[in-house]
C-alpha cells in the first residue's frame, strides 16, 4: 500500500478503535503510526491492540510503528468536603499537606516537591489553567496564595506549576512499570511525558536499553528553555501543545511550534505536532475550518507527523478524522507554495560523508529524471538524513532490520521495505529496483538513486551513491559485482 503524501499520521487507539476491523479501517484510511496511551486502558487491552497491529503489518506487508505514550507524574489537589468549592478573584487560599478534605479556603496538595520549589510570586494553575493563584508566602508544607482567576475547584483536579523546575522525576512508579511492559511487548517508540531536563530523557533511555526509541514530549516551559540539550539526547520530539498552552501564554505556542519543528528537522529527528488538531471531530463528522488550517500549518512548517488523540481513541468519527487529516495533507503537499516553504527552510549543517551523499542524492533527483531515492540502512540514520533534505521524490528505505524499519515509518516521506542481508552491491541495486516497481514508485523505463554503505550490514558506513535503471537486465549488464 502506497501513501500519496509525505507527512505521517499518528492515530491514538482507545474505546472507539480497539478491535481488528476498526484498527484496520484506521490504517486503510491513512494511519501510519498507532499510539497506545498508557494513561488509559489496561496492559491486557494494550497487548491485544499491539497484536492486532502486528497482524495488519503482516497482512499488508508494510511496517507499522507503535508508540507507547507514558503518563508521567500527575500533580493533583486532594478532595473537598463538599466535592467542590468556588473561588473568587482576590480570595485568599491555602494549599498544605494536611490529609483533611478541602474547604473554600484551603485544600490538600499532596506533593511536598511542589512546596520545595515554590517561592513568593510563583503561579499555580488548577484544572488546565482555568483557575490561577499567585503564591504570597510559602514553606516546606504550605503555600498561602491569592486567587487571580477564580472558578470552581473540585476533587483531584490537576495542578501545573509553570515558572519553576520541579524536583520531580519524569518517570513515576507507574511509568517504570509501563515502560518495561511496553518494551517487552515490542513497541517501537516511547513517548516521555513531563520532560523538564535532558537527564529525564537519559533515565528513560537507560531503562529502555535500546529496545525502543525515545520521543520527548515538549509540554513544559523548562523543556522549551533547554530544548537543544533535550533534542540532543532524544530520538524524536512531540510538540504537546495541550499542557504547553496551559503553562505558557497561548499566543506563545505557535512560534514555539515553528521553532521546534525547524530544530528537529535540522537535527534529522522526527517531530510530531499533537493535541486538539481536529478536536471537534470527537462529536462532529466535519472539522472546523480553523482545525483544518491548524493541521495544514503544521504540514507547511515541515512536521514529520500530525497526531489524533481523542478524535480516533474515543470520538464518534475516528475513521473520518483520519480521512480528513489524510486529505488535508494531500492537498497541502500538492500546493507549489508548500515546496517553496519546505525548500527555503532547508538548513542542514552537513559535516559527514553520509550528509554529503544524501544531499547529492537530493540534488541529482531534482535536476534529472529520477523516480525515487532508495536508501539501504541498518539503524535508520541515513534515511533520516535523506528525509531531512525533503526531496521531491519518494524515499524508499530498505533494511533487514524490522525494528529500524518500524521506527522510521514515523519519518517524513519514507516508505519502509524489508529486504534480506546483502553481500554484493549489485544485489542491493536489484532489490531497490524491484521495490520501486513493486510499490508503484517507478516502472522499467525509469531510473532510481541507490545509496548504501560498504561493507554491508554495518551501521554508519553510507559511502555509495548510484544512479541505476529499474530494468534489471540493464543492471546486470552495467553494474559491477
Which long-range contacts (C-beta less than 8 Å, at least 24 apart) are formed by 349-353?
349/266, 353/462, 353/463
Distance CA 309, CA 333 (A): 23
> Phi first, then psi: what are they for 271, rounded to 5°?
-130, 130
DSSP 34-77: EEEETTSS-HHHHHHHHHHHHHHHHHHT---EEEEE------B-
Catalytic residue among 217, 265, 362, 466: 217
Compute the Cα dihedral for 268, 272, 273, 278 and give only its sign.
positive
User: Pairing relation of β-strands 236-240 and 213-218?
Assistant: parallel
Which long-range contacts (C-beta less than 8 Å, at least 24 apart) are formed by 17-22?
17/312, 17/313, 17/318, 18/45, 18/48, 18/49, 19/52, 20/52, 20/55, 20/56, 22/318, 22/319
3-class state of residue 137 by DSSP: strand
DSSP 383-430: HHHHHHT--SS-EEEEES-HHHHHHHTTSTTEEEEE----S-HHHHHH
Catalytic residue among 47, 76, 211, 346: 76
Question: H or E stretch including 33?
Answer: strand 33-37
Question: Is-catalytic flag, 35?
Answer: yes
Distance CA 452, CA 459 (A): 11
* DSSP 8-state code for residue 193: P
Q: Cell numbers at residue 13, please?
A: 487507539
Catalytic residue among 5, 8, 24, 35: 35
Catalytic residue among 8, 106, 205, 275: 275
> Phi first, then psi: what are they for 375, rounded to 5°?
-115, 120
Do the Cβ atoms of 143 and 121 come closer than 8 Å?
A: no
Which residues lie across from 236 on neighbouring strands? Answer: 215
CA dihedral angle for residue 70, residue 76, residue 78, residue 81, rounded to 10 degrees: -110
User: Which of 229, 279, 239, 287 lies closest to 259 in space, CA to CA?
Assistant: 239
Strands, E assignment, 48-188: 65-69, 84-87, 92-96, 106-108, 123-126, 131-139, 142-149, 151-154, 159-160
Question: Is-catalytic flag, 275?
Answer: yes
Q: Active-site residues: which are they? A: 35, 76, 217, 275
Amino acid at each position: 500500500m502506497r501513501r500519496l503524501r509525505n507527512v505521517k499520521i499518528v492515530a491514538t487507539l482507545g474505546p472507539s478503535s480497539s478491535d481488528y476491523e476498526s484498527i484496520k479501517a484506521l490504517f486503510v484510511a491513512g494511519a501510519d503510526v498507532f499510539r497506545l496511551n498508557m494513561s488509559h486502558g489496561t496492559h491486557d487491552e494494550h497487548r491485544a491492540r499491539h497484536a492486532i497491529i502486528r497482524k495488519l503489518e503482516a497482512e499488508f506487508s508494510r511496517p507499522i510503528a507503535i508508540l507507547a505514550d507514558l503518563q508521567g507524574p500527575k500533580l493533583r489537589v486532594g478532595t473537598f468536603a463538599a466535592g467542590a468549592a468556588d473561588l473568587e478573584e482576590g480570595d485568599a487560599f491555602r494549599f498544605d499537606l494536611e490529609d483533611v478534605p478541602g474547604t473554600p479556603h484551603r485544600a490538600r496538595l499532596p506533593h511536598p516537591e511542589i512546596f520545595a520549589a515554590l517561592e513568593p510570586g510563583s503561579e499555580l494553575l488548577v484544572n488546565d489553567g482555568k483557575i490561577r493563584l499567585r503564591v504570597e508566602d510559602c514553606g516546606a508544607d504550605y503555600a498561602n496564595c491569592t486567587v487571580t482567576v477564580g472558578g470552581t475547584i473540585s476533587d483531584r483536579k490537576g495542578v501545573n506549576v509553570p515558572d519553576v523546575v520541579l524536583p520531580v522525576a519524569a518517570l513515576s512508579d507507574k511509568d517504570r512499570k509501563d515502560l518495561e511492559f511496553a518494551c517487552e511487548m515490542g513497541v517501537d517508540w516511547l513517548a516521555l511525558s513531563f520532560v523538564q531536563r535532558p537527564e529525564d530523557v537519559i533515565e528513560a533511555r537507560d531503562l529502555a536499553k535500546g529496545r525502543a526509541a525515545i520521543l520527548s514530549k515538549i509540554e513544559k516551559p523548562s523543556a522549551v528553555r533547554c530544548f537543544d540539550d533535550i533534542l540532543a539526547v532524544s530520538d524524536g520530539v512531540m510538540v504537546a501543545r495541550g499542557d504547553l498552552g496551559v503553562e505558557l501564554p497561548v499566543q506563545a505556542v505557535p512560534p514555539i511550534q515553528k521553532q521546534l519543528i525547524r530544530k528537529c528537522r535540522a537535527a534529522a529527528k522526527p517531530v510530531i505536532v499533537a493535541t486538539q488538531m481536529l478536536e471537534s471531530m470527537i462529536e462532529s463528522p466535519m472539522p472546523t475550518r480553523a482545525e483544518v488550517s491548524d493541521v495544514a500549518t503544521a504540514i507547511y512548517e515541515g512536521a514529520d507527523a500530525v497526531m489524533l488523540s481523542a478524535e480516533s481513541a474515543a470520538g464518534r468519527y475516528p475513521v473520518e478524522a483520519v480521512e480528513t487529516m489524510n486529505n488535508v495533507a494531500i492537498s497541502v503537499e500538492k500546493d507549489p507554495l508548500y515546496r517553496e516553504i519546505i525548500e527555503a527552510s532547508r538548513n542542514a549543517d552537513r559535516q559527514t560523508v553520509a550528509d554529503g551523499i544524501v544531499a547529492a542524492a537530493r540534488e541529482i533527483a531534482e535536476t534529472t529524471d529520477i523516480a525515487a531515492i532508495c536508501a539501504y540502512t541498518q539503524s535508520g540514520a541515513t534515511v533520516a538524513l535523506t528525509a531531512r533534505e525533503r526531496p521531491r521524490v519518494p524515499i524508499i528505505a530498505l533494511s533487514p532490520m524490522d525494528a529500524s524499519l518500524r521506527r522510521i515509518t514515523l519519518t517524513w516521506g519514507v516508505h519502509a521495505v524489508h529486504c534480506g542481508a546483502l553481500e554484493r552491491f549489485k544485489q542491493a541495486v536489484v532489490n531497490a529496483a524491484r521495490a520501486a516497481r513493486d510499490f508503484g514508485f517507478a516502472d522499467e523505463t525509469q531510473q532510481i538513486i541507490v545509496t548504501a554503505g560498504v561493507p554491508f550490514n554495518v551501521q554508519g558506513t553510507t559511502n555509495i551513491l548510484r544512479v541505476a535503471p529499474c530494468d534489471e537486465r540493464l543492471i546486470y549488464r552495467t553494474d559491477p559485482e
